[in-house]
Structure 1
Amino acid sequence: MKDKVFDKPIEKKFEFDEAVASVFDDMLSRSVPFYDEVRQLIISVILAEEGEGKSLLDLGSSTAKFLLDLDSKLSTKMHLKGIDNSQAMLDRARQKCQAFGAEIDLELADMLEYEFGGDDVIVSNYTLQFIRPMQRPELVKKIYDGLNQDGIFIFSEKVVFEDKRLDKQLIDIYYNYKKAQGYSEYEIAQKREALENVLIPFTIEENIQMCKKAGFKQVSTLFQWANFVTFIAKK
C-alpha cells in the first residue's frame, strides 16, 4: 500500500500506529535513501558472521521485513527474534511470517525495559533516534552487556552535523530526494512537523562515542548517504 499518511493535516505527533503500519514498507523504501541496499549490506555482514545456533535480535522489528529477508538467505540455523512496541506492526509482522512459513520470534516489548542477554548480533535500523537522548546511552550499555563475547551491534541512524551550513544543505538534498520519490512539499512539511521532538538525531561522533563509552572496542561506519549512516560496533 502506498504511503499517504501525511497528505492531510496532522492531528498528532508521529507514532507507529495502524495507519503507519499499513504503509510502513513503502514509507521506508521511499523515505530512507538506499534503504533496500543498506538492508542487504547488513544482511551480508551478518552472513559473514553466520554460525549454527547463533542468535540475532532486531530492535524495532516493525513488519519483520529485515528479519524475513535475512531468514531467506541463511544457510545455517540461526535464532531470529524481533521486538517492537507497536501492536499494529507486530500484527502485520506475524501475518507475513506465517505467509512465508518463517520461524521468527516476535514480541511486544519496550526496548528500554527489555531484558537483553544471549545474543550474538543485535540490529537497530532507524530506531535509536526515537529514544530520548538522555535514555539512549543507558540503552546502548544494556545492548553491550546483553551481547555475547565478540558480539556485534549494527545500527542505522539519521544524523546531524555540527557544521550548520552543511547540515542545512544536506537536509535540502534529502528533501529533494523525497520529492523525487513522489512526496509532495505538503507531505514533507507535515511529516517534519509530526516528527519534531520525536525523532532527535545525534552527530556521527556522538553515536560513536556513545558506543565506546558503553564498552564497545571498535566502532565503524558501514555506509553513509548525506545524513543517513549505518554503524557497526564490536564487543
Structure 2
Amino acid sequence: MNDKVFAKPIKKQFEFDEEVAAVFDDMLSRSVPFYEESQEMTRFFVLKALQNGGIMYDLGCSTASLLISIAKQNPDVTLIGLDNSEAMLEQAGKKAHAFNVDINLLNADILEYDYEKANVFVSNYTLQFIRPLVREELVKKIADALKKEGVFIFSEKVISHHAKLNKDLIEHYYDFKKKQGYSEFEIAQKREALENVLVPYSEEENIKMAKNAGFSHCEVVFRWANFATFIAIK
C-alpha cells in the first residue's frame, strides 16, 4: 500500500499504529534515502557475524524485513525481533508466514527486556525515538549483552551542530522526499507529528555514546546527508 498517512490533517503525535503499519514498508523506501543500500550493508555485516551461528536481536523490528532477509540466507541462526507495536508485529508475522521463515517476534519493551548473550544487535532508526535520558543506558545494556567482538549496527537520522549546514541538510532531505512523490503538505504534517518524538544526535554524539557504553570502536559505514549507519564493535 502507498503511504498517504500525512495527506490529511493530523491531530496527534507520530505513533506506530495500524495506519502506519499498513504502509510502513512504502514509507521507509520513500522516506529514507538509500534505504535498500544501507540495509544491504547491514545484512552483510550481520551475516559475517553469524557465519558460525549465534543470536541476533533486531530492536524495533517493525515489519521484520531485515530479519526475514537474514533468515532466508542463513536459517541456522536464532533471530529475535522486538517491537512494542502490536500492529507492526502483526504485519511482520504475516510476512514471515508468507516467506516461510523461522523468526521470533515479541511484543516487548527494549529498555526492560532480559537479553541473552548475543552476537549481533541491530537497531534501524529506533534509538532516535528513545528519550535521551535513557538512550545511553540502552546502548550500555546492548554492549553488556554482546559477546566479545560482537557487533551493534544502528542507523539514525543525524544532525549537524553547524546551524546553516543543518538547515541545508534538512532542505536537501525535503527535496528528496518531494522527488519520492510527497507533497509539501505531507512533509510539513509529518515534521509536526514527529516534533519532540524523534530526537536525533549528531554523528559525533552517537559515536561518543557507543564508546561511553563500552564499545571499543564505533564508526559510520554509510551516510547520506542527515542519515547514517554506524557499526560498533565490542
**TM-score bin, normalised by smaller chain:** over 0.9
Q: Is the 8 A contact 2:49 2:120 kept in 1?
A: no
Aligned-pair RMSD on alpha carbons?
Answer: 0.9
Residue 211 of structure 2 is aligned to residue 212 of structure 1: yes
The equivalent of 1:40 in structure 2 is: 40
What amino acid does structure 1 have at the position aligned with 2:91?
R
Residue 164 of structure 2 is aligned to residue 165 of structure 1: yes
- Report the secondary structure of 1:223's partner residue: strand
Q: Is the 8 A contact 1:117 1:145 kept in 2?
A: no
CA distance in 2, matches of 1:202, 1:216: 18
The equivalent of 2:20 in structure 1 is: 20
What amino acid does structure 2 have at the position aligned with 1:191?
K
Q: Is the 8 A contact 1:54 1:78 kept in 2?
A: yes
Structure 1 runs (4+) greater than 6 angstroms displaced: none
Q: Is the 8 A contact 1:126 1:155 kept in 2?
A: yes
The equivalent of 1:121 in structure 2 is: 120
- Superposed CA deviations along residues 17-43 of structure 1, whole A, max 9, x for unmatched, are 000000000000000000011101110
TM-score (norm 1): 0.98
- Report the secondary structure of 1:232's partner residue: strand
What is the deviation of 1:50?
A: 2.7
The equivalent of 1:91 in structure 2 is: 90
CA distance in 1, matches of 2:137, 2:116: 15
Structure 2 portions without partners, runs of 5+: none
- Report the secondary structure of 2:148's partner residue: strand
Q: Is the 8 A contact 1:158 1:228 kept in 2?
A: yes
Instruction: Determine what percentage of the aligned residue pairs are the same residue.
Output: 57
- Report the secondary structure of 1:143's partner residue: helix
Residue 53 of structure 2 is aligned to residue 53 of structure 1: yes
Q: Is the 8 A contact 1:53 1:77 kept in 2?
A: yes
Structure 1 portions without partners, runs of 5+: none
Name the count of aligned residue pairs. 234
CA distance in 1, matches of 2:134, 2:156: 16
The equivalent of 2:8 in structure 1 is: 8
The equivalent of 2:152 in structure 1 is: 153
What is the deviation of 1:115?
A: 1.2
The equivalent of 1:227 in structure 2 is: 226
